[in-house]
Each structure stands twice: as C-alpha cells, then as structure tokens.
Copies of this chain bind each other. A is one copy, B any other.
Amino acid sequence: MFQDFKSTADPTQGPPRLAALRNAMAKAGLDGFLVPRADRHQGEYVAPADERLAWLTGFTGSAGFAAITGELAGVFVDGRYRLQVKAQVAEAFTPVDWPETKLGPWLAEHLPKGSRVGFDPWLHTVDEISGVEKAAPDVDLLPTDNLIDRIWQDRPAPPNAPVRAHPVELSGERSSDKRARIAKVLKDAGQKAAILTLPDSICWLLNIRGRDIARNPVVHAFAILFDDARVALFSTPEKFEALGPDPAIDLYDWDAFETALDKLEGPVRVDRKTAPFAVSARLREAGIAVDWDDDPCILPKACKNEAEIQGMRDAHLRDGAAMVEFLAWLDREAPKGELTEIAAATALETYRAASNQLQDISFDTISGAGPNGAIIHYRVTEATDRQIVPGELYLVDSGGQYLDGTTDITRTIAVGDPTDEHRACYTAVLQGMIAISVARFPRGLAGRDLDALARAALWRAGRDYDHGTGHGVGAYLSVHEGPQRLSRLSGVKLQPGMILSNEPGYYRPDAFGIRIENLIVVQDAERLGDARDQLDFETLTFVPLDRRLIDIAALGPWERDWIDRYHGEVRAKLAERVSKEARAWLFEATEPLS
C-alpha cells in the first residue's frame, strides 16, 4: 500500500517546539520567523525532511505557512483546511484565514516598526518576499539559515532515491532535442543561461524520473541550462549512478550550486514565481544580470507530444479497468452497509496495483461517504473513517502513476437508492462536465473563457462549486501542473497537447458531495461547419458514470447523445480488459440511457 490512513496530527508536540524556535529566534536577534510548507522546489508534496511546518505546528495540509513572533504563532491556511487546522494545532497556534488575511499586512499589524523577521531564502520565491516587503515596509525581512533545522534534532535525511531514465518511446522527444529547443529560446532572448529549480521541469528536460518524494515521480535537483544546450546538474551524484554519463550534462553535488551561480555569464533567466530567493540574491551579489522570465520548460512540457498522449491513453485504459473492477466490487459490497471509506480506498489501490504497473498513486485517494464527500480535499484517516451507508452518496477521487502516464479520476456513486435531490444535483454537475467534453472553441481562448460552460447548469439551479473546473496534469509527472487551467483565474491560452482535468462538483456541507472528473487533452478539432480554426478536447478517461444518478428528463439531446456515446466507448475499450464478473457489471453500467 502506498497510502496510509494514520492521523499524523499530534497537537501536544507543538508548544515545546515553538518555545525552542522562539529561543533560537532570540539568539539570532530576530523578532519573527517564517515557516513555509514549501521546500526548495515549491512543489505540492515535500519529503519528510522538509515537513517543517507539520513538525512545528502539527498542521499537515498541502498548502499553508506559519509566521512566528514573540507573541503570536499564526498558521495561515486556505478554505480547504479551516476545519483541519483547528483539529491539528495546539492552542499556542492561531489559525489565520488565508488569503483573506495576507502575510504582509499581518506582520505589519502584529510587529512594531523596525522588527526583524527571518526567513530561509531557499524556501521562498522572490515574488513572495517582495509581496510581503511591499505590504509591510516597516518590517525588515532578513534571509537567514533555517532556524527549524537548528532545533529539529531527529530530522530525517533528505531523499536520495535512484534516478531512472524515462525512455524516448514514452517521452516522445530525446532530451538532447529538448535541450537544443529550449537553448534556442534562451539564445533568441539573449539569455546566456536559465536556472531550473522545479523538479518536473528538470525531469522533463532530461527525460529522467525518480522517487525523491511521494506521489510525484520526480528527482530533487537544481539545474543550469546554458544557451549552447549544455546542462549543469546539482543533486546527489550517486542517485544518478544507474544512468550512463552524458557528455552534455555535468553532474555536481548540491554544494557546488552556489559557486556555479557566481561564475555565470549574464543575463541569466530566473523565474521569480518559482525560483528560491537565494538564487537571484546570489547572482546579484556576484554582479550578474538577472532576466525575470518564466521557467522555459513549463510551456513546452505542458504541450504533450503524440507519444506522451498515447502513453496517457494507455495508462487510462489500464487505470479504467482497475476502476471498473473496483466499482463492480463496490456495487456488490456497499449496499450491505458494512464497507468503510478506508476499506474502499484500500480495495481501489489493490485493484490498481494488480496490473503490476502501478508506480505509485498520483495523490492520496479522497474516499468520502455521505457528508465527508462534501469536504473537497478530504483525506480519510483512522480517526475520520466512516461507514458507507445505503441512501448516501460515495465520492472517490483517485489516480495512479504509471510509467506511461498519470491518471486522475473522480466518480460519485449512489449507494442504495438515491434521493431526487441527489439526482438533480448530480445531473447538473454532469451537464457541466459534458459541456466541457463536447466544447469546440476558437484557438486563442483561455480557461477563463470556458469555465462558465461547466457551471451554467448549476448556476441556473442556484448552485456552484468553490474550486476551479480543471487543472493541468503531467505525463508520468505531477498530477497538478501548469500553466493551463480551466478556471476563471486563468488567462493562459489553451494549446493542442495540454492535458486538463474536467471536474465540476457540488458540495452540500454535512450532507453530500458530488464531483465527476475525466481527464481531457486539447486537440485541433476535426473540421466541421465553416469555423476556421477550432480546438476541442479528446477524453482520456473511460469509466462508467452512475446512470442511477442521472435525471434523463433534464438533459438536452446532445447531452443524452454524449453519455450514450461515451458509455459505448467505455464498454468497447474496457470489456476485454476486465474480469468476467466486472464485465457483466460493465455491460449493465454502460447500457444506453433509454
């Protein structure tokens, strides 16, 4: 099992650690210290050695940070974690509603003029620090070594997992070609080098994968890409032993990174939204010009090539077969009323692992019965584990990491007989999911331009959901990757090859949650009508929708047609991939609507 269901929160450990931190602050002459959740690579998952926020406060959410002063210990968390933080931290800590309250104004309010606040310059980006400085001009923000690391006695070792080559059959492009392509971008921009600090950018560029953190098959490293396509790579060299040497890649120990920065010729491209503050500070100290510009791998990585898309298709059929086995099992077992959320999540991982190709799950499974389904980022633990009761909805959001692709799927299932309200809400969510699935649209549009399509049916009923409609997804990389999103907040133009989730939802607190999620990939649409240049989405996910939850009379004809067509494809693609017992279930689940 990759997932565990332990309740890691232990509020009692926080206060003595907080006292030790304040002690260290006093010794360092600091009035405050920042403790982010992020590591040096700004990802969603961090290694145990980087769980500083959880170690100090007890809070284990995937986003947030703490700001410690002599008097206060604010733990900043967003809407997803408002309840969780209260259960996980001791009274010595004060939960702060973020981003409603931002760090800068909070520091300005709680610290006198001229206060000195330390931060680890490797854990914060330039954008973060300059945002705080702007909002709290009377507070001095001082880069310092990490005070947590000073007091954390039994801190785990940093990750050191072996690196594996990601074969060109799956990556679709040789690393040398990628490097030449990106180096040309630098050259055209007059940039001598680019600093890469995001693990998935480096893994994509070098066609490598690793196991340095859970869920995301990435390698922890920093890299410098030069405008002649050479790469200097900084990590733990022994991790790379299984790979043969590459004359264009010079491998160094972590320690060599800073001195390598000193010797660069400028201008050097640095991403102020993702690179550690320490990188550009070091470059500037050495008198080297910095060009603020996006990490040059992000957009090319987002636009998957045909081999990557084919890998994603293959991974999704394998994953879809496991989901069908799981759903068939669930339909047999759940109505008895004895399953729990953990039992279901465990069974699902077992079905996925049965392919012998599962490298990891792509994130901790969200397995929520009844009211737990309404907690958007619910992670079931032994403390919260709930019976799956007939008459309720069960929401399961999960995914797998396979060598050929990353999956992410949500299905909401009626256990026993659903109510009319369940069906009305499910149908409106489904109409939104279909609206994106069938959308054709002119090239040049961004996620912002399409987001309303996914919400219109819910809006009409006075309902909505408090999250984006979709996020970018990597190809055997992070299940959340940018820059594209289906979101009111995203102005990034959609381009062929971009993979997105399509996951509208509806959540009724203390009652039920509904989310339906397929992955889709942007493609040039087949010519139709007289439109000049349209894009549309190919669906990657093939798993039945729960027909018992669909109010057929509420659907438009194109919606009914899409469901029947989709179920026909699901059946055709998966029938030969599942067990006999699951096949019978699959055939029934994919019958035409009427």
**How far is it, in angstroms, between the C-alpha of A435 and the C-alpha of B452 when the chains are bound?**
11
Chain B residue numbers with a CB within 8 Å of A456 are 435, 439, 453
Do B449 and A534 touch (CB < 8 A)? no
Interfacial chain B residues near A553, Cβ < 8 Å: 557
Q: Mark A418-444, 1 if CB is under 8 A from B, else 0.
A: 000000000000000001001111100
Contacts of A488 in B (CB 8 A): 445, 449
**How many protomers of this protein does the assembly include?**
2
Whose C-beta in chain B lies nearest to the C-beta of A449?
B452
Q: How far does the alpha carbon of A464 sit from the alpha carbon of B448 in the complex, in Å?
A: 19
Q: How close is A258's CB to chain B, nearest CB, in angstroms? A: 42
Q: Which of A120-128, A205-213, A522-530, A584-592 contacts B (4 or more CB under 8 A)?
A: A522-530
In the complex, which residues of chain B have a beta carbon less than 8 angstroms from the beta carbon of A463? 529-531
Quick check: is A243 within 8 A (CB to CB) of the other chain? no
Please indicate the chain B residues that have their CB under 8 angstroms from the CB of A556 in the complex: 555-557, 559
In A521-574, the 8 Å CB interface with B consists of 525, 527-531, 534, 553-559
Q: Which residue of B lies closest to A425 (CB)?
A: B529
Q: Are A462 and B557 in contact (CB under 8 A)?
A: no
A451 contacts B by Cβ under 8 Å: yes
The docked-state distance in angstroms from the alpha carbon of A440 to that of B450 is 16
Across the interface, do B460 and A530 meet the contact criterion of CB distance under 8 Å? Answer: no
Q: Which of B442, B448, B462 contacts A440, CB < 8 Å?
A: B462
B531 touches A459 (CB 8 A): yes
Contact yes or no, A508 B531, CB < 8 A: no
Q: Let me know if A529 and B438 touch, CB within 8 A.
A: no
Minimal beta-carbon separation of A306 from chain B (angstroms): 24
Q: How far is the CA of A155 from the CA of B435 in the complex (A)?
A: 57
| A445 contacts across to B, CB distance below 8 A | 452, 488
Q: Which residue in chain B gives the minimum CB-CB distance to A554?
A: B557
Is the pair B555, A464 in contact by a Cβ cutoff of 8 Å?
no
**Nearest chain B residue, comparing its CB with the CB of A528:** B462
Contact of A354 with B by CB under 8 A: no
Known: A556-B559, A557-B553, A557-B554. A438 touches B452 (CB 8 A): no
Determine whether A461 belongs to the interface, using a CB cutoff of 8 Å to chain B: yes
| Contact between chains at A452 and B462 (CB < 8 Å) | no
A461 neighbours in B (Cβ, 8 Å): 528-529
Q: A557-B553, A559-B556 are in contact. Are A534 and B459 (CB under 8 A)?
A: yes
Instruction: Identify the closest chain B residue to A553 (Cβ).
Output: B557
Are the CB atoms of A452 and B441 closer together than 8 Å?
Answer: yes
* Bound Cα distance from A450 to B451, whole angstroms: 9
Task: Knowing that A463-B530, A555-B557 touch, tell me 9 more A-B residue pairs with CB under 8 angstroms.
Answer: A440-B460, A441-B452, A448-B449, A459-B534, A462-B529, A464-B531, A508-B530, A553-B557, A556-B559
Closest 9 CB pairs of A and B: A462-B529, A556-B556, A462-B528, A462-B531, A463-B529, A440-B459, A461-B529, A441-B459, A449-B452
Q: 30 interchain pairs (CB within 8 A)?
A: A435-B456, A439-B456, A440-B460, A441-B452, A441-B455, A441-B459, A442-B459, A442-B464, A445-B452, A448-B448, A448-B449, A449-B449, A449-B451, A449-B452, A449-B488, A452-B452, A452-B453, A453-B453, A453-B456, A459-B531, A461-B528, A461-B529, A462-B525, A462-B529, A463-B529, A463-B530, A553-B557, A554-B557, A556-B556, A556-B557
